[in-house]
Structure 1
Amino acid sequence: MKRVIANGRVLDGSKLVQRDILIEDGLIKAIEPDIKIDDVNEVIDAKNHFVSAGLVDVHVHYRQPGQEDKETIKTGSQAAAHGGFTTVCAMPNLTPAPDSPKHLEDIMALNRKDGVVHIKQYAAITTNREDDELVDFSALKQDGAFAFSNDGNGIQKSSTMYEAMQQAAELDMAIVEHVQDDKLSYGGVLNDGAAKRLHVKAMPWVSETAQAARDVVLAQATGVHYHICHASSKHTVALIREAKRAGINVTAEVTPHHLLLSDEDIKEDNSYYKMNPPLRGEDDRQALIEGLLDGTIDMIATDHAPHTKADKDKSIATAAFGITGSETAFSTLYTAFVKTGRFTLEQLINWMAKKPASVFKMKATGNLEIGKPADIAVFDLDEPHVIKESEYLSKGKNSPFTGATVFGDTVMTLVDGTVVYKK
């Protein structure tokens, strides 16, 4: 099977240039100004559209098995494709959790059966992501675990994290963690400012940064690759910056919502603005942006967290934490930052494709290169588009960005040369 994506615009360094892309047997065979198309099976006309390497998201929640009313592997991966993502990494807060070879194998089989994009699967750090009984790291690596995480729960006991890091380091595997000291969270739901306005409990920034500081010290002691999920505070950014200067093997991600919103945007009791960690102050948001620009923060990851209407149709004090992100990430970020000149398109693709692939050693993805799988996203950078709930492919509709007018809508997504989303 041969197909050509014709007349598209691709990044050549920082410039957009017109190129045709030849795909054969699922691989990129040529990227040239003008490819003869006489003997191909299909021509995809991408005239005036931006053709990119498929995006890579190292932080999604697909809920299956255990909470299929929120999301399934099929709907979650369809949502990823709708957003231009071709590789995603699924978190382990599932029932049962991928805490044993049998559980991991079962979940990975579902990922292969129902996923329309490449799905890499995290394994848990502790049994059922609870308490302090460590999993069999070696067996889970052998069975194909992507990395280890208890995401959704910070590991509270220092000795548990220390021993987990020691084992992961021996196997050259990453520890990827939701950093939260529960005793410093005080059952809070919002950042201090918004919490005061809405008369709910606050979740102080120290709950994140204190545990991140502990883990950075343990990462230094063990040499493990330690990755911080969804950094939200300027204090955490400063900590990561100093850790990198000290040569500690620490990487970090930031979500689109923490880049785009602050707690000042929470004007009323609206649970679509409730996530964990919460939206912080405007000074924190600016620190996250600067952290991306200076390399302190390595990548953008969505923390796509779908919930049912019932989960979210409550007061912000009692509703579930989390918002969806797969379908809105690129367009909202492109509109807010590239269109305004704060970021370049090259930088955005680096943070959403190249860097996550390189940091986590995913050699087959992240770049448009001859010989690599044809994992490709096509975006319309020129025409405005209104984000509509009716267009979401995720089961979760819990996004504060619904109704926004954006640029960078996804036109088409291909995985291994096969079209998995088309507008």
Structure 2
Amino acid sequence: MDIQTLSHYVLGPVRLWTVDREEPSQYIEVRDGRIQKISGQPPSDTSIPKIDGKNFVLMPAGVDEQVHLRVPGQEHKETAETGLMAAVKGGYAAILTMPNTKPVIDNVKVLKEAMDSVRTYEERFGVRVFWTAAITENLSSSKVTPIEDLAKAGIKALTNDGLGVLSDEVMEESFKRLAPLGIPLLQHAEFLGHGGSLAPSSVQESLKVKPYPESAEIDMVVRDLKVLKKCPEARYHILHITSGKVVPLVREAREQGLKVTCEVTPHHLYFSGEDIDPKNTSFKMNPPLRSPEDRQLLWEGLENGDVDFVSTDHAPHEPLVKSGSFDEVAFGTLGLETTLGVLTWGYREGKLSRRRWVEVFSLKPAQFLGLDSSYGDLQVGQEIRGILFDLEAPDHLIQEKDFSSLSKNSCFIGSHLPGKLIKSFLGSKVISCE
């Protein structure tokens, strides 16, 4: 990875993709990290340094709303440096990091210390880190965290990700306190007690592991929507949905005027439970891969807007906790560096339109987090946050050595994904990603 700081350059020709534009042979003039001009003609001033775009796609860089950066306290899984390097390699300009760290981000002191610890790497790579805090103290008590103080300190959302909130009373209190702040509650929808590792499938049966039922997810969503009706001004977001039966629940809640959103991960779009490699325990993630029918319903929901956007649930783990049987190992798989390949595949297969690709990768999660329009778009006068991408690049083998993440627990190892990220343009930084 080569990082340059350039004060003035022209990028082109490129195939410009935004939500509202698809234009071939465009030239983008950038000065001091801001887009000065977008034109179908190269600039007349030949002294301006030029970056050859080779008519590759230039599109807004991604925003990932669910990343386990593992900061603070879990730097044996991921560091701020390796995590943000992985984000750049995945085409991202911003990430939202989860609070299930050591210590848990459940108070302002821990939050500010974590924020301070990543600033050097934000500046080096040009990727912004946004923060969440836990809903309850230490993720496990029934005592809700100091939401108002955490909001003033800069959190973008509240979540116990990795654990569903079991208490109706905690959910209601959280909704009531979050509603006037406009901050969403992100729910890992899972009622505990099932003890399962993999969703029902032929692979699950052959491995003789306990099944992880979809009812654990569906029942919590149903419960949450009932509670939300008592606090209709609150924002409720369902992380990493897996069951196709959740999609109509979300749609119906919106029709009733509730502020409900949801997301899907790349691995739940690309794989089903029937695709699990029994030798790769990175296929154990929470929630699990479900049926081919669920997978198809998730694609349909993503394209028609019932599913709002794609988030990776990037969950790095050291080899020790991913070694053993599927019943024994930790849940989690990497995600940051393989999303573009999955979306390219979906686009080629006709599952995802060009417009929705830009929306689900960039614009919609940026809007969800309330980021300025330099995230999710490419406009004159704003900072450039874009990626140069070879849409026609052939399928390539995903190998462990390719990952910048400190951990290598990817369920995509051994798969072939299309497309190739060439460069990232993040403010004044030009980063070669090949």
Tell me how far 1:141 sits from its aligned partner: 0.9
Tell me how far 1:393 sits from its aligned partner: 0.5
Change in CA separation of 1:198 and 1:14 when aligned onto 2, cut-off 3 Å: farther
Tell me how far 1:14 sits from its aligned partner: 6.3
The 2-side partners of 1:387 and 1:75 are apart by 18
Q: Residue 4 of structure 2 aligns with which residue?
A: none
Tell me how far 1:360 sits from its aligned partner: 2.5
Q: Residue 401 of structure 1 aligns with which residue?
A: 412
Match of 1:314 among 324, 337, 344: 324
Change in CA separation of 1:408 and 1:16 when aligned onto 2, cut-off 3 Å: farther
Q: Which residue identity does 1:276 align to in structure 2?
A: N
Tell me how far 1:338 sits from its aligned partner: 1.0
Identity across the alignment (%): 35
Q: Residue 428 of structure 2 aligns with which residue?
A: 417
The 1-side partners of 2:21 and 2:61 are apart by 18
Tell me how far 1:296 sits from its aligned partner: 1.1
Deviations 1:162-183 (A, max 9, x none): 1011101021111111111113
Match of 1:191 among 199, 207, 217: 199
Match of 1:350 among 348, 359, 373: 359
Q: Residue 382 of structure 1 aligns with which residue?
A: 392
Tell me how far 1:35 sits from its aligned partner: 3.8
Tell me how far 1:254 sits from its aligned partner: 0.2
Tell me how far 1:345 sits from its aligned partner: 2.3
Match of 2:226 among 213, 217, 222: 217
- Structure 1 position 154 matched with structure 2 position 164: yes
- Structure 1 position 56 matched with structure 2 position 63: yes
Deviates more, 1:97-106 or 1:193-202: 193-202
After superposition, residues 194-209 of structure 1 pair within 5 angstroms as 194-209=203-218
Deviations 1:298-343 (A, max 9, x none): 00001011111222122111111111011011112212x1112222
Q: Which residue identity does 1:288 align to in structure 2?
A: L
SS of alignment partner, residue 192 of structure 1:
coil
Tell me how far 1:293 sits from its aligned partner: 2.0
Q: Which residue identity does 1:51 align to in structure 2?
A: L
Q: Residue 179 of structure 1 aligns with which residue?
A: 189
SS of alignment partner, residue 358 of structure 2:
helix
Q: Residue 247 of structure 1 aligns with which residue?
A: 257
Q: Which runs of 4+ in 1 moved over 3 A?
A: 12-16, 37-42
The 2-side partners of 1:289 and 1:3 are apart by 39
Q: Residue 141 of structure 1 aligns with which residue?
A: 151
Change in CA separation of 1:120 and 1:39 when aligned onto 2, cut-off 3 Å: farther
Tell me how far 1:220 sits from its aligned partner: 2.4
Deviations 1:175-204 (A, max 9, x none): 111111113xx1111102243231111111
Match of 2:371 among 340, 355, 362: 362
Q: Residue 14 of structure 2 aligns with which residue?
A: 8
Deviates more, 1:211-220 or 1:4-13: 4-13
Q: Residue 302 of structure 1 aligns with which residue?
A: 312
After superposition, residues 237-276 of structure 1 pair within 5 angstroms as 237-276=247-286
Q: Which residue identity does 1:9 align to in structure 2?
A: R
Deviations 1:357-400 (A, max 9, x none): 12222124111112222111111112223323212110121112
Deviates more, 1:205-214 or 1:344-353: 344-353
The 2-side partners of 1:333 and 1:253 are apart by 14
Deviates more, 1:211-220 or 1:5-14: 5-14
Q: Does the CA contact (< 8 Å) of 1:120 and 1:145 recur in 2?
A: yes
Q: Which 5+ residue runs of structure 1 have no aligned equivalent?
A: none
Deviations 1:20-79 (A, max 9, x none): 112222222221112427376642211121111111110001112111111011101110
Tell me how far 1:421 sits from its aligned partner: 4.4
Normalised by the size of structure 2, how large is the TM-score?
Answer: 0.93
Q: Residue 163 of structure 1 aligns with which residue?
A: 173
C-alpha RMSD over aligned residues = 1.6
The 1-side partners of 2:44 and 2:208 are apart by 64
Match of 2:99 among 85, 88, 92: 92
Tell me how far 1:267 sits from its aligned partner: 4.8
Q: Residue 117 of structure 2 aligns with which residue?
A: 110
Q: Residue 73 of structure 1 aligns with which residue?
A: 80
Deviations 1:243-271 (A, max 9, x none): 12212100000001111111111252531
Change in CA separation of 1:166 and 1:420 when aligned onto 2, cut-off 3 Å: farther
Tell me how far 1:135 sits from its aligned partner: 1.1
The 2-side partners of 1:25 and 1:220 are apart by 48
The 1-side partners of 2:88 and 2:230 are apart by 39
The 2-side partners of 1:284 and 1:14 are apart by 32
Change in CA separation of 1:396 and 1:37 when aligned onto 2, cut-off 3 Å: farther
SS of alignment partner, residue 24 of structure 2:
strand
The 2-side partners of 1:377 and 1:285 are apart by 28
Q: Which residue identity does 1:248 align to in structure 2?
A: L
Q: Residue 46 of structure 1 aligns with which residue?
A: 53
Change in CA separation of 1:366 and 1:14 when aligned onto 2, cut-off 3 Å: closer
SS of alignment partner, residue 251 of structure 1:
strand
Q: Which residue identity does 1:272 align to in structure 2?
A: S
The 2-side partners of 1:405 and 1:289 are apart by 19
Deviates more, 1:6-15 or 1:85-94: 6-15
- Structure 1 position 341 matched with structure 2 position 347: no
Q: Which residue identity does 2:62 align to in structure 1?
A: L
Deviates more, 1:120-129 or 1:7-16: 7-16
Q: Does the CA contact (< 8 Å) of 1:4 and 1:40 recur in 2?
A: no
SS of alignment partner, residue 133 of structure 2:
coil
Q: Does the CA contact (< 8 Å) of 1:270 and 1:316 recur in 2?
A: no
Normalised by the size of structure 1, how large is the TM-score?
Answer: 0.95
Tell me how far 1:114 sits from its aligned partner: 2.2
The 1-side partners of 2:415 and 2:115 are apart by 35
Q: Which residue identity does 1:60 align to in structure 2?
A: V
The 2-side partners of 1:158 and 1:40 are apart by 65
